[in-house]
Amino acid sequence: MGKKGKKEKKGRGAEKTAAKMEKKVSKRSRKEEEDLEALIAHFQTLDAKRTQIVETPCPPPSPRLNASLSVHPEKDELILFGGEYFNGQKTFLYNELYVYNIRKDAWTKVDIPSPPPRRCAHQAVVVPQGGGQLWVFGGEFASPSGEQFYHYKDLWVLHLATKTWEQVKSTGGPSGRSGHRMVAWKRQLILFGGFHESTRDYIYYNDVYAFNLDTFTWSKLSPSGTGPTPRSGCQMSVTPQGGIVIYGGYSKQRVKKDVDKGTRHSDMFLLKPEDGREDKWVWTRMNPSGVKPTPRSGFSVAMAPNHQTLFFGGVCDEEEEESLAGEFFNDLYFYDATRNRWFEGQLKGPKSEKKKRRRGRREEPEGGSKLACGGAGTQAPVEVVKEVVTEDGTVVTIKQVLSAPGSAGQPQSEDEDSLEEAGSPTPGPCPRSNAMLAVKHGVLYVYGGMFEAGDRQVTLSDLHCLDLHRMEAWKALVEMDPETQEWLEETDSEEDSEEVEGAEGGDEDEDEDSGEESGAED
């Protein structure tokens, strides 16, 4: 009894500390959020000028990260919403809605009256009822300088059949946050974690909320057992057995004045109803077998065929005294909840490649600066070194490690045809963090994200796909040359004029912590 009482007292003490910290963060951030509310209101005034739905065929969207890419439940379409872009001086946030038609390989920009305000690092979940609904919660807005932050706690639904946005107002929901995760579970949306940041303070969450899609009401869950520590940017997925898996994520703590220490989590937990009751939940620590991803943040997640969870990319920041350098990834992993096991996803390479080699027709990859996956005979990871010349003439060397083809990380079908007929190694997505993933008809789509080259942040707008049944080769649907991207050196002057300019300049705004932290958190 004594030990149990002591544990309970310690738990209550931790809750009090967290509550105090939240109050402190809330107080300090209130003023800057009030300042940003005026800017958000300005954007909403511009959005209010939209009075009808306008669908416009368009080129692929501009570079962005921390957007949401969702699969239409009834059509062969992907839906891109929100996101952010940083050009070295200003942060831009978006609330544009784009639809990618998979069969036609074509993009359409859909302007809808009264959309949600501009944001990034939100969560979007699709449910099939009513012709399809896209539910969006939370996210973040930032000043053009990227130094002030506003965290949303609003809930929206896009009715896909009628192409109308609706804000759903219900009390008792989560506090404002970004970097949280949300999944559809039966007739509910389950939300976990995230963080809230002001200029001086921040707080990470490990709370769990449920939104009932029938009654439109929020409830806070209080699971028994020991659950994950507070974090953002984790993996959250529903298992075939009806549980919810939480893996990894990122958090930071202040170790001394103006010094923060980041943590890349690599633990896994299962959240499930206790004794089959939907009003009582329990946390359980899990120890999966197999080949786990190396610890990282900024990775992306999607549901693969056979109820497996697909894990892509991310960044591992090496924290030095004065700097923070990141190693970016483009590797694939699969988590099989049925077997509680991780698998590394490796490409086999196009089958046609072997035939062409025998005929002496092996071709070289296009262009010296193109990133390419190794051929079918390559067993070790391939390191590609690329030089980027910045506007001031500085030469930045980017090293990128590309996964080697090998045995696939999950059982494969024996289809004869390959994705591409090219005899050369096929370009794949370069290493990156905070990309957008979606899986439709067993094909993985990877869009955008970012990587760093020295002090420069390169935001991507390319689109790649990979047949997850064959695991043979990536196919580039939209290509991008990072060297062509605008990058402006930081200036201390004209801050005020930039604020106004940012407000007028399209859908824009958001960063996170700093360039590096932002990649880490979402």
One DSSP character per residue, 383-431 reads EEEEEEE-TTS-EEEEEEEEPPP-S-SS-----S--S---SSPPP-PPS
Amino acid 235: pLDDT? 98
The pLDDT of 378-398, averaged and rounded, is 44
The pLDDT of 24-40, averaged and rounded, is 71
pLDDT tens per residue, range 499-508: 433 433 344 3
Which range, of 236-245, 314-323, 347-356, averages the lowest pLDDT? 347-356
Amino acid 39: pLDDT? 87
> Nearest-CA neighbor of 68 among 84, 80, 85, 86?
80
Task: Please give the structure tokens belonging to residue 490.
Answer: 């930081």
Contact 450, 329 (CB under 8 A): no
The pLDDT of 477-489, averaged and rounded, is 89
pLDDT tens per residue, range 450-481: 999 888 999 999 999 999 999 999 999 999 99
pLDDT tens per residue, range 136-149: 999 999 988 888 89
Q: How far is CA 266 from CA 98, 123, 319, 499, in A?
A: 34, 21, 18, 39
Amino acid 444: pLDDT? 98
Backbone angles phi, psi at 36, to 5 degrees: -75, -25
Helices (runs of H) and strands (runs of E) counted in the chain: 4, 32
The better pLDDT of the pair 335, 495 is held by 335
Domains and CATH numbers, the chain: 33-169 (2.120.10.80)
For the ranges 140-144, 338-342, 485-489, the one whose mean pLDDT is highest: 338-342
Res 220 pLDDT > 60: yes
Binned at pLDDT 50, 70 and 90, residue 126 comes out as very high
| Number of residues assigned to the chain | 522
pTM for the predicted model, two decimal places: 0.79
The better pLDDT of the pair 345, 395 is held by 345
pLDDT tens per residue, range 163-184: 999 999 999 999 999 999 999 9
Q: How far is CA 271 from CA 122, 236, 419, in A?
A: 22, 10, 38
CA distance 434 to 411: 28
pLDDT above 70: percentage of residues in the chain: 72
